[in-house]
């Protein structure tokens, strides 16, 4: 009996954290080719990991005081139909990714989408809404150097002028807005939304402090202050104000990022891989970088492929457009997938089918347009 309970526990853990375990095993395989040494510590983007951890913790704290629930009520009162509300959620995630990076935008606005749909009895649109928020987060961040982690990396590595950076990404950015708007208008009906009136008053002092902490995490993204300051201030504050928020942080997601960084770092040090990638990039940087994202995601692809090409325009377009497609084409997509499964654990197949249909549709259209730019 006890063995069965242990086995069931392991099975539940593996099912819930399948992506993390896959990332662990592919990273482990590369360790056999590149033994652990002092260079491993250079693989990790500590700033990204810090921002992710801090934002996860703050979002948990805000959820604990029902801040998003209050925000959801205001959203429903402002946009009185399902279609307008889903459009608003998509746009706010899109804009958020331009300002606070795609991962942070999803961590902030996915809980809002969930609360809006559950409080109004429109759970049937949850998969679609989450997918559109995911697409908008990945594609909205393409316009600015700080919108996506890979943008920050390429912007710094190649010293791309800001105006040139934005001009390269402008057309795909505008097309993405048009595609998302069409999808929301076609696939969501204009059904009236109603929610029971409820007096929700999040604790004002806690709300103010948590929002200040959230702004602090944004300031770190903009590189205005060192990331380690946030790593000290935010957890310390929550330790005294809401210890449960720290316990609820999605630590398996953080480990997923760690394992992918190890995988990408090791791949870049394998001679056969380096030679193969150099030859392929010479043929077409855009198409190969898009294809690479589908296999190892956009951030590792940007880091890996930048070692073999000086065509930063093709690479920039490829690793941004390539953020849509497979579930692992963007690490931000893992955030959405895990958030959806948290609320709908038995609908993973349904979600993945819809996710693939919309993402590959976006991928084909945007790649074709970028190819002729």
State residue 57's pLDDT score: 85
Residue 102's pLDDT is what?
75
Comparing CA positions, the residue from 102, 145, 75 lying closest to residue 335 is: 102
Q: How far apart are CA 245 and CA 308, in angstroms?
A: 42
Structural domain total, the chain: 1
Neighbours of 35 (CB within 10 A): 8
Q: At what angle do helices 331-343 and 126-140 cross, to 10 degrees?
A: 160
Residue pair 213/242 in contact (Cβ under 8 Å)? The answer is: no
Q: Pick from 227, 181, 225: which is nearest to 88 by CA?
A: 181
Q: How many helices (H) and strands (E) does the chain have?
A: 19, 0
Residue 9 lies in a domain: no
pLDDT at 221 (0 to 100): 64
Q: Which domain holds residue 317?
A: 17-22+44-193+200-371
Q: What angle do CA 50, 56, 57 make, to 5 degrees?
A: 90
Taking the CA of residue 186 as centre, how many other CA atoms within 13 Å lie in the half-sphere pointing to its CB?
8
Contacts of 188 (CB under 8 A, 6+ apart): 82, 83, 86, 87, 125, 128
Give pLDDT tens digits along the chain (373 positions). Answer: 566 667 777 777 776 677 688 888 989 999 999 999 988 888 887 877 887 788 778 878 887 887 766 776 676 677 778 898 899 889 888 887 776 667 777 877 888 888 888 888 888 999 999 999 999 988 888 888 767 778 877 887 788 888 899 999 999 999 999 999 999 999 999 888 776 555 666 678 888 888 888 888 777 766 678 888 888 988 998 888 888 888 888 788 788 778 877 887 888 788 888 788 778 888 899 999 999 889 877 877 887 788 788 899 999 999 999 999 998 888 788 888 888 988 888 888 999 999 999 999 999 999 999 998 7
Q: What is the structure's pLDDT at 196?
A: 59
In a domain, 8, yes or no: no
pLDDT given at position 223: 65
pTM given for the model? 0.74
Residue 177 CB partners (closer than 8 Å, separation 6+): 94
- What pLDDT sits at residue 312? 92
Phi-psi region of 101 (alpha: psi -120 to 50; beta: other; left: phi over 0): left
Q: Would 10 be classed as within a structural domain?
A: no
Residue 69 lies in a domain: yes
**Is residue 350 within 8 Å of residue 127, measured between CB atoms?**
yes
Indicate whether 39 belongs to any domain.
no
Look at residue 185 in the predicted model and tell me its pLDDT: 93
Task: Specify if 7 maps to a domain.
Answer: no
- CB contact burial 260-290 (16+ within 10 A = b; e otherwise): bbbbbbbbbeeeebeeebeebbeeebbbbbb
Q: Is residue 348 part of a domain?
A: yes
Is there a domain that residue 349 lies in?
Answer: yes
Q: Using N-to-C axis directions, what is the helix angle for 149-157 and 312-321, rounded to 10°?
A: 180
């Amino acid at each position: 009996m006890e063995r069965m309970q242990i086995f069931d526990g392991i099975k539940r853990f593996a099912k819930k954290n399948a992506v993390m375990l896959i990332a662990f095993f592919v990273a482990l395989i590369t360790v056999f080719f590149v033994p652990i040494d002092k260079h491993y510590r250079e693989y990790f983007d500590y700033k990204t990991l810090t921002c992710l951890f801090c934002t996860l913790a703050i979002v948990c704290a805000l959820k604990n005081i029902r801040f998003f629930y209050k925000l959801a009520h205001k959203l429903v009162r402002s946009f009185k139909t399902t279609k307008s509300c889903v459009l608003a959620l998509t746009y706010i995630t899109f804009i958020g990714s331009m300002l606070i990076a795609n991962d942070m935008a999803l961590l902030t606005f996915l809980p809002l989408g969930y609360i809006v749909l559950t409080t109004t009895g429109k759970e049937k649109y949850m998969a679609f809404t989450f997918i559109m928020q995911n697409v908008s987060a990945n594609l909205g961040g393409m316009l600015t150097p700080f919108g996506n982690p890979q943008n920050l990396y390429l912007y710094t590595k190649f010293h791309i002028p800001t105006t040139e950076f934005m001009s390269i990404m402008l057309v795909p950015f505008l097309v993405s807005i048009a595609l998302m708007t069409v999808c929301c208008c076609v696939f969501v009906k204009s059904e009236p939304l109603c929610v029971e009136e409820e007096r929700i008053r999040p604790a004002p002092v806690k709300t103010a402090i948590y929002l200040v902490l959230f702004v602090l995490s944004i300031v770190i993204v903009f590189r205005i202050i060192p990331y380690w300051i946030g790593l000290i201030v935010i957890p310390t504050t929550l330790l005294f104000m809401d210890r449960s928020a720290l316990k609820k942080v999605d630590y398996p997601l953080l480990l997923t990022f760690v394992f992918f960084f190890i995988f990408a770092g090791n791949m870049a040090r394998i001679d056969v891989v380096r030679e193969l990638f150099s030859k392929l990039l010479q043929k077409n940087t855009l198409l190969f970088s898009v294809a690479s994202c589908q296999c190892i995601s956009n951030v590792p692809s940007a880091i890996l492929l930048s070692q073999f090409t000086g065509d930063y325009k093709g690479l920039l377009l490829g690793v941004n457009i390539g953020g849509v497609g497979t579930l692992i084409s963007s690490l931000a997509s893992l955030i959405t997938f895990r958030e959806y499964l948290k609320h709908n654990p038995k609908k993973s197949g349904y979600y993945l089918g819809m996710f693939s249909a919309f993402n590959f549709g976006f991928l084909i259209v945007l790649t074709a347009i970028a190819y002729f730019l």
